[in-house]
Structure 1
Amino acid sequence: MRVHKVENLESRVARFKQERLSFVFTEALPIFSLCVVLSIGLMYAVNRWLGAYDNWLIVGAVVGACLSMPPVLATMPKRPTIEDVHADQSIRRAYGMDDTVDD
């Protein structure tokens, strides 16, 4: 079995940029849309049940956007740092593996 070198910071940042771009369209947008649609639907139901409220659509959209932020921020990919590279190297050293960084 061949052990690959530790990935350097530049290639990790390049991979992070690709992941961030795909994250916006595959995860963030569906989460945001679902929260906004559900919130607007609930505001519509409350409006029908309790009586006439003029701005239920705007309030529902704002509440849905605010409620979507914690899940979006929790699932957002984190930018790699040099400490990540050092952590990978220390794990490999602990198990006696090659800890050289890829060029």
Structure 2
Amino acid sequence: MPGHDRGSISAFVVVLMLAALICLGLVVDGGQKIRADLQDLPPTIDLMTAARALGIGRSKAYQLARDGEFPVRIIRIGDLYRVCTADLMKVLGVEVSESAS
């Protein structure tokens, strides 16, 4: 099934869990491991992974992306929509430091 590979599901789980922990106030400076996991995410993720993290359904996500109104920067490659992971983290209130490698 397109858009349902293991990588996008695991990226979604990491993003969703971290957002939930931050909202609950359970991640503070001791969250280095979680931040390190987030830094391991690819620079872009698929539209549906970002949409699920934001609580947006499939149809609405594609409509917003098509109309240029998705709440996170979209990179369009032909018919493929990719979402900038760093921008998604900012929208979710997750601070991920840039690595100097």
Identify the structure with the greater helix proportion: 1
- Please, what TM-score do these two structures have when normalized by structure 1? 0.26
- Please, what TM-score do these two structures have when normalized by structure 2? 0.26
Higher alpha-carbon Rg: 1
